[in-house]
Amino acid sequence: MQIYLPIAEVSVNAFLLLGLGGLVGILSGMFGVGGGFLMTPLMFFIGIPPAVAVATGANQIVASSFSGVLAHLRRRTVDLRMGVVLLIGGLIGAGFGVYIFNLLREMGQVDLLVRLCYVLFLGVIGALMFVESLRALQKSRSGKRPARKKHNWVHGLPLKVRFRTSGLYISVIPPLLVGLLVGVLAAVMGVGGGFIMVPAMIYILGMPTKVVVGTSLFQIIFVTGFTTVLHAATNHTVDMVLAVLMLIGGVVGAQIGTRIGVRMKAEQLRILLALMVLLVCGKLALELLIEPAELYSIGSDG
Amino acid sequence: MRIARALILLLLMALPAQAERVVAGLSQARVSITTDFSGSEILVFGAVKREAPAPEGADLNVVVTVAGPSEPTTVRRKDRRAGIWVNADMQDIGPAPTFYSVATSAPLSEILSPETDRKHRISIRRAIRGVGVTDNNYIDALIRIREDEGLYQISDRAVTLQQDTLFRAGIALPANLTEGAYATRIFLLRGGDVIDRYDTVIVVRKVGLERALYTLAYDQPLIYGILSLAIAIIAGWAASAVFRYFQP
């Protein structure tokens, strides 16, 4: 069934969009990532203009994250206090990130920088996570329980707050900084930032993996919601028909994903996430290294 | 003196056009884009009107062109820099039609002289003006990419001409249409020159839900954005509620 999209001005298959939305929704519910890194390239692939893909993707992520968060809230796997602290840092960071983005655009080659940023960050994070979770998995197989609460520099800072859901008593400074950093990267790279947020919460803040997913989704809702309204108001690039088709798939997928995630071991979840990060990184790296079949591309603006 | 000579030349060129004229019609002058729009086929039909018997010699041919609204277009080219492929150069093409279709009764190169093509901008290459473009590779790339997407079409012998009098042609409009006025031209050709032309317009317009959403997005962007957000939140909540109902 072909559907004509009023803003994108292309005709696409409705079932294809439902399926794509569902797939990304499952990943979102399982790993606590928005899925923008996956959704946006998929939308390019089926012929939706990049600007519309980015803005509408943000709208779809709001829906699947919200659906996922509700499922996590009932399981009490959302640290609301931590989420709010991260969000405050994130919004400040996003504002700063937009400023940097515009600065880079004036210098030209922002596209290249964003891609290199992606490859570098995804590569490093994916590799570290993969190695760590593989070790953790081997340890848990051999029967030893890993010591979860490690004391590092994070625990020596002032302004300590108790984050009951995460079982942490740490300073608010590290979560604020993590939020800030993710906010900057999210704005520059045009994604919700779940990919960087999730590993940062696990490894820097020492939060338990199960809580991390729900908390990450919680803050993604606000970041992407803000992005959606901003894109709609300034660029007119949110396509409601496209968004509705994808989010129907997305919200159902997120519910299924959450249920899969709960049944899995934390280490397995982390390994899968690490593999996915590496996969996306590899794909982006190949795009930069292999000669494209069509060297030319059309842009509609001057 | 020059003007006078040009006037006489124009008059001489106009004379044969008096002998044979083209009259044409469209199966539909309006294309409505609805939610389930998946392209449309428009039939262009017409006849050649003569006061005198058809002249001997050069064959009569008909060319139909449909051009979508023009947009300023930029073409970028990737190049290898320090081992990686990046957008290295770009070229402003200027306004180029978002859709362009040429249907002919015989291969265009055989029935159209380059001068006439330049004057009437009939072929795809001429329809894209490309003022000030020095490197033709960029325009070739634009044509190649749009041809692959079905937005630029050249259909030789798609116009059926009967007894040098009646003609018809089916123009396929793809699903990926932009809104606007589609200038439709019907040329009568003899010996490489245009002897008469007929201009009309196909109006492509979004209707119903498509129209409403498009208008809202541009006239009330903030409300549109908040509405999109609200739909997302409600959908997220609804899915969660449904799943809880089935899986307590």
Q: Does residue B114 sit within a domain?
A: yes
Which of A63, A287, A302 minimises the CB distance to B92? A302
Rounded Cα gap, residues B179 and B211, in angstroms: 10
Rounded Cα gap, residues A82 and A176, in angstroms: 9
Q: Does residue B135 sit within a domain?
A: yes
Q: Which of A264-268, B95-99, B194-198, B224-228 has the lowest mean pLDDT?
A: A264-268
Place of tokens 């690039």: A237
Inspect the interface and report whether the beta carbons of A232 and B85 lie closer than 8 Å: no
On whether both B151 and B229 belong to a single domain, the answer is no
User: By the 8 A CB rule, do A72 and A66 touch?
Assistant: no
Which whole number is the average pLDDT over B34-45? 86
Which whole number is the average pLDDT over A21-46? 77
pLDDT in tens, A152-190: 666 666 677 777 777 777 777 888 888 888 878 777 766
Cα of first residue to Cα of last residue in chain A, in angstroms, is 35
Residues 142-181 of B with CB under 8 A from A: 142, 144-146, 149, 175-179
On whether both B214 and B133 belong to a single domain, the answer is no
Q: Given a cut of 60, is residue B11 above it in pLDDT?
A: no
Q: Which residue would you say has higher pLDDT here, B236 or A167?
A: B236
On whether both B31 and B117 belong to a single domain, the answer is yes
Which whole number is the average pLDDT over B146-162? 87
pLDDT in tens, A211-222: 888 888 888 888
User: By the 8 A CB rule, do A18 and A6 touch?
Assistant: no
Q: How far is B160 from chain A (nearest CA, A)?
A: 30
Query: What is the pLDDT, as a whole number, of residue B66?
Result: 92
Q: Which residue would you say has higher pLDDT here, A57 or A299?
A: A57
On whether both B88 and B152 belong to a single domain, the answer is yes
| Domain assignment of residue B211, given as a range | 207-248
E strand intervals along B83-165: 84-97, 100-104, 152-155, 159-162
Q: Which of A24-38, A153-167, A218-232, B92-106 has the lowest mean pLDDT?
A: A153-167
Place of tokens 């790339």: B141
Q: Does residue B4 sit within a domain?
A: no
Q: Given a cut of 60, is residue B248 above it in pLDDT?
A: no
State the amino acid at position B224 in one-letter form: Y
Query: What is the pLDDT, as a whole number, of residue B186?
Result: 92
On whether both B217 and B163 belong to a single domain, the answer is no
- Closest C-alpha to A236, from A34, A56, A98: A56
Q: Does residue B2 sit within a domain?
A: no
Q: How far is B171 from chain A (nearest CA, A)?
A: 18
pLDDT in tens, B180-221: 899 999 999 888 888 888 999 999 988 888 888 888 888 888
Identify the band that residue A47 occupies on the pLDDT scale cut at 50, 70 and 90.
confident
Query: What is the pLDDT, as a whole number, of residue A178?
Result: 85
Inspect the interface and report whether the beta carbons of B37 and A2 lie closer than 8 Å: yes
Inspect the interface and report whether the beta carbons of B228 and A238 lie closer than 8 Å: yes
B65 strand-pairing partners = B102, B185
Place of tokens 């002032």: A158
Which of B38, B73, B77 minimises the CB distance to A300? B73
CA distances from A152 to A94, A161, A196, B11 (A): 28, 16, 20, 93
Inspect the interface and report whether the beta carbons of A290 and B210 lie closer than 8 Å: no
Mean residue pLDDT across chain A: 79
Inspect the interface and report whether the beta carbons of A234 and B86 lie closer than 8 Å: no
Query: What is the pLDDT, as a whole number, of residue A301?
Result: 47
Q: State residue A165 phi and psi, 5-degree precision.
A: -60, -35
On whether both B129 and B241 belong to a single domain, the answer is no
Q: Given a cut of 90, is residue B100 above it in pLDDT?
A: yes
Q: Which of A25-29, A113-117, B64-68, B173-177 has the lowest mean pLDDT?
A: A113-117
Rounded Cα gap, residues A245 and A230, in angstroms: 21
Q: How far is A2 from chain B (nearest CA, A)?
A: 6
On whether both B67 and B161 belong to a single domain, the answer is yes
Q: Does residue B3 sit within a domain?
A: no
User: By the 8 A CB rule, do A253 and A227 touch?
Assistant: no
- DSSP-derived letter for residue B192 is B
Q: Which residue would you say has higher pLDDT here, B108 or A103?
A: B108
Structure tokens at A62: 């709001």
Length of chain A counted residue by residue:
302
Rounded Cα gap, residues A249 and A22, in angstroms: 4
The DSSP secondary structure of B47-94, one letter per residue, reads EEEESSPPPSSSPEEEEEEEEPPEEEEEEEEEEEETTEEEEEEEEEEE
* Domain total in chain B: 2
Domains in chain A: boundaries: 2-287
Q: How far is B195 from chain A (nearest CA, A)?
A: 36
On whether both B218 and B188 belong to a single domain, the answer is no
Identify the band that residue B17 occupies on the pLDDT scale cut at 50, 70 and 90.
very low
Q: Which of A128-132, A190-194, B228-232 has the lowest mean pLDDT?
A: A190-194
Query: What is the pLDDT, as a whole number, of residue B14?
Result: 52
Mean residue pLDDT across chain B: 84
On whether both B223 and B156 belong to a single domain, the answer is no
SS (H, E, C) chain A: CEEECCCCCCEEEHHHHHHHHHHHHHHHHHHCCCCHHHHHHHHHHCCCCHHHHHHHHHHHHHHHHHHHHHHHHHCCCCCHHHHHHHHHHHHHHHHHHHHHHHHHHHHCCHHHHHHHHHHHHHHHHHHHHHHHHHHHHHHHHCCCCCCCCCCCHHHHCCCEEEECCCCEEEECHHHHHHHHHHHHHHHHHCCCCHHHHHHHHHHCCCCCHHHHHHHHHHHHHHHHHHHHHHHHHHHCCCCHHHHHHHHHHHHHHHHHHHHHHHHCCHHHHHHHHHHHHHHHHHHHHHHHHCCCCCCEEEECCC
Predicted TM-score (pTM) of the model is 0.73
- DSSP-derived letter for residue B128 is S
Q: Does residue B127 sit within a domain?
A: yes
CA distances from A32 to A8, A53, A184, A211 (A): 28, 21, 19, 10
CATH code at B191?
Answer: 2.60.40.3880
On whether both B167 and B219 belong to a single domain, the answer is no
Residues 99-128 of B with CB under 8 A from A: none
On whether both B168 and B63 belong to a single domain, the answer is yes
User: By the 8 A CB rule, do B233 and B217 touch?
Assistant: no
Q: Given a cut of 50, is residue B41 above it in pLDDT?
A: yes
On whether both B140 and B234 belong to a single domain, the answer is no
